[in-house]
Structure 1
Amino acid sequence: MNNRMNIDDHGMSGPMWMPSEPPTLANVLAWHPQPYALFPLLCALLAVLYALGLIRLRQRGIRWPIGRTASWIVGVGLILWVTATGIEGYGMAVFSVHMFQHMILTMLAPVFLLMGAPVTMLLRTLPAGKGRRAAPRRALVWLLHSPIAKVGSHPAFTLALFVFSLYGIYFTPIFDSLMSSVWGHYFMLLHFIATGIIFFGPVLMIDPWPGTKSYIFRIMLMLSSLPFHAFFAIAVMMSPAPIVHFFATPPPSWNIDVMDDQLWAGGLTWVFGDAPTLVVMLALAILWMRSDDRLARRSDRQAERDGDAELNAYNAYLQRLAEHEAAWSRAHGRSAGNG
């Protein structure tokens, strides 16, 4: 009850934050008012900026794949869905709803946002050159090649951050501390989104992220997160007591069994460890095949331009190698005969 009282003191509960009605499907999916409307404003900003980028690209005559636009819309829509509806409100009282929100913000929305290639769009729309107008683009290029970006995209950092967002938040007092205020709660949700972007960015490599381009290594990095996710889900489901105090006392009139709800929360975590991974693996496979196709087409165009000079040079190298070997054999054959 102390946690609930602290939340009341900070203005997070009541009609403007936590719903008073029991959670039903209709209530969970309904629009839910919230203080400051941070995430609706953020989603509106992301949608408007992307639309302006599309207009700029069209003015420059640059074609932009419709799949990227659709992915961006889905990513922004997922964030809005889980932060501006009853999912956000009931996520303040029910662990399973909160964990569903967490998984969407970390495992699904970032993947779709990254597939929208926002950094590539910025590089193609921002003015280039050496003048003042080109300063934002130069700053972006510098950031992409900076030590900060290299460290932030290193597998050791991205995997550690991913693991911390599970074990470090829920198995320590950090969760209860963040949930004790509006802005602590908002910070945690933003952390979930950032964690997903930082982890999946170097894996998908849609934008020019620092790091290896090897598809095999990126697939291995993706698979390396599965055991941590699975063990966390098992720990949540097998815990004999609530793992966070914040959800230990839901409103009595809702008739929620805390341990059953925690079991659901662990199950949702397990599912979201596997399903998005399959989506990302499929995306990587498609990107790999497209990369091979582009490389083959590039080689064919080069061969047409230079009369297949590369192949001719390689054949000439093999011919010289064969002649050298034959000459060496003849020379040693005569030496043996003379002997």
Structure 2
Amino acid sequence: MGHHPHGHGQATGGGTPDWLPPALLLLAAAGAYLLLAHRARHRNPALGWSRWRTGWFLGGILLLGVALLPPVAPFAHEDFRGHMVQHLLIGMYAPLALVLAAPVTLLLRTLPAPRARRLTAVLHSPPARLLSHPAVALALPTGGLAVLYFTPLYNATTADPAAHWLLHAHFLLSGCLFAHVIAGPDPAPARPGVRARLVCLGVAIAAHAVISQLIYGGFWADIHAPIDQVRGGAEIMYYGGDLAELLLAAALVATWRPEPRRGVSVAGRSLPAGGA
């Protein structure tokens, strides 16, 4: 019970430790961001690129490394409490740090003008607007938790390495999307006002608390692990999630900028309020 048949830290068939690919991928991501930041400073020395942004990105990569590499990864494969620690790092803490690094803005500053215009067009496209709608951004991480823990899905991922990595990808991408919609500094043409984002965050906090309490009480949860592990994991989810959501709320306050009032008159002309 609770033991994952695909161990972490063991060598694959070719003799390569299975922690090496994610480690190399994380190093490549960090190197790519540092290269783009250097290019942004070189192209426009006056504007430069914030070292705080770079620090946020490297911090997010570090959190992912803690989650995906030993000793946390083997613990997550053996113990549901370790899985929950891993889930919080990948799905809540690392995404917030990565989003605060403003990677899209960095891309827009460093890409050639034609590619930057194409990227901007993608950001303004109907699919991108739909994906960044608060309801969608909220449903993917919170709805995903309910499906994961109240159906046989979690137990299936413990027996299938590919499904396990897909679960990590879902945690990370849905977490980044939600953090971007709530408090991201990157351009977001469809981002709602502060009140709507606060409501969205409040719903997420409530849903997270309810799911963790249901898991703790054993209501509808389908988790093949010892009861002490399940309850311990639920407590980690409850308190660790609260802290992550508090940090997200702080990021929302820190990145909030007053929106221009509609119909502002400039040089005798009436201009609409600008978006992101």
Note whether the superposition's TM-score is higher than 0.5.
yes
Distance in structure 1 (CA, Å) of the matches to 2:66 and 2:109: 30
Residue type at the aligned position of 2:38? I
Shift of 1:241: 9.3
Shift of 1:154: 1.0
The residue number in structure 1 matching 2:250 is: 282
The residue number in structure 2 matching 1:68 is: 53
Distance in structure 1 (CA, Å) of the matches to 2:197 and 2:220: 37
Moved >4 Å (runs of 4+): none
Pair 1:98–1:36, CA change in 2 (3 A): closer
TM-score by length of 1: 0.70
The residue number in structure 2 matching 1:334 is: none
Pair 1:162–1:242, CA change in 2 (3 A): closer
The answer as to 2:191 corresponding to 1:212 is yes
Pair 1:210–1:272, CA change in 2 (3 A): farther
The residue number in structure 2 matching 1:77 is: 62
Distance in structure 1 (CA, Å) of the matches to 2:17 and 2:129: 37
The residue number in structure 2 matching 1:126 is: 111
From 123, 133, 143, the counterpart of 2:122: 143
Residue type at the aligned position of 1:209? A
The residue number in structure 1 matching 2:274 is: none
Shift of 1:34: 4.3
The answer as to 2:236 corresponding to 1:268 is yes
Q: How many residues align?
A: 261
From 152, 157, 163, the counterpart of 1:178: 157
5 Å-filtered alignment, 1:185-196, equals 185-196=164-175
Stretch deviating more after TM superposition (235-244 or 171-180): 235-244
Distance in structure 1 (CA, Å) of the matches to 2:183 and 2:8: 41
Residue type at the aligned position of 2:162? W
Structure 1: stretches of 5+ with no match in the other structure:
18-32, 129-133, 249-257, 311-339
The residue number in structure 1 matching 2:102 is: 117
Distance in structure 1 (CA, Å) of the matches to 2:238 and 2:161: 28
From 29, 37, 62, the counterpart of 1:54: 37
The answer as to 2:21 corresponding to 1:42 is no
Shift of 1:95: 0.2
Residue type at the aligned position of 2:228? D
Q: Is the 8 A contact 2:53 2:100 kept in 1?
A: yes
Structure 2: stretches of 5+ with no match in the other structure:
270-276
Shift of 1:37: 2.7
Pair 1:240–1:156, CA change in 2 (3 A): closer
Q: Larger C-alpha radius of gyration, 1 or 2?
A: 1
Distance in structure 2 (CA, Å) of the matches to 1:184 and 1:204: 30
The percentage of counterpart residues that share the same residue type is: 28
Pair 1:55–1:233, CA change in 2 (3 A): same
Q: Is the 8 A contact 1:149 1:210 kept in 2?
A: no
Pair 1:157–1:216, CA change in 2 (3 A): same
SS at match of 1:277: helix
The residue number in structure 1 matching 2:7 is: 13
5 Å-filtered alignment, 1:186-335, equals 186-239=165-218, 243-245=222-224, 248=225, 258-288=226-256, 291-292=257-258
Residue type at the aligned position of 1:81? V
Distance in structure 2 (CA, Å) of the matches to 1:267 and 1:180: 24
Shift of 1:138: 3.3
Residue type at the aligned position of 1:83? L
Pair 1:137–1:244, CA change in 2 (3 A): same
TM-score by length of 2: 0.85
Distance in structure 1 (CA, Å) of the matches to 2:236 and 2:73: 16
From 93, 108, 126, the counterpart of 2:93: 108
The residue number in structure 2 matching 1:166 is: 145
SS at match of 1:64: coil
Higher relative contact order (CA 8 A, sep 6+): 2
Shift of 1:278: 1.2
Distance in structure 1 (CA, Å) of the matches to 2:29 and 2:172: 13
Deviations 1:122-155 (A, max 9, x none): 0000011xxxxx3x32332222011211111112
SS at match of 2:186: coil
Q: Which has the higher helix share?
A: 1
Distance in structure 2 (CA, Å) of the matches to 1:176 and 1:276: 26
Q: Is the 8 A contact 2:7 2:74 kept in 1?
A: no
Deviations 1:56-107 (A, max 9, x none): 1121123212211111111110001110122111111100010010011111
SS at match of 2:10: coil
Shift of 1:210: 3.5
Q: Cα RMSD (Å) of the superposition?
A: 2.7
Pair 1:242–1:66, CA change in 2 (3 A): same
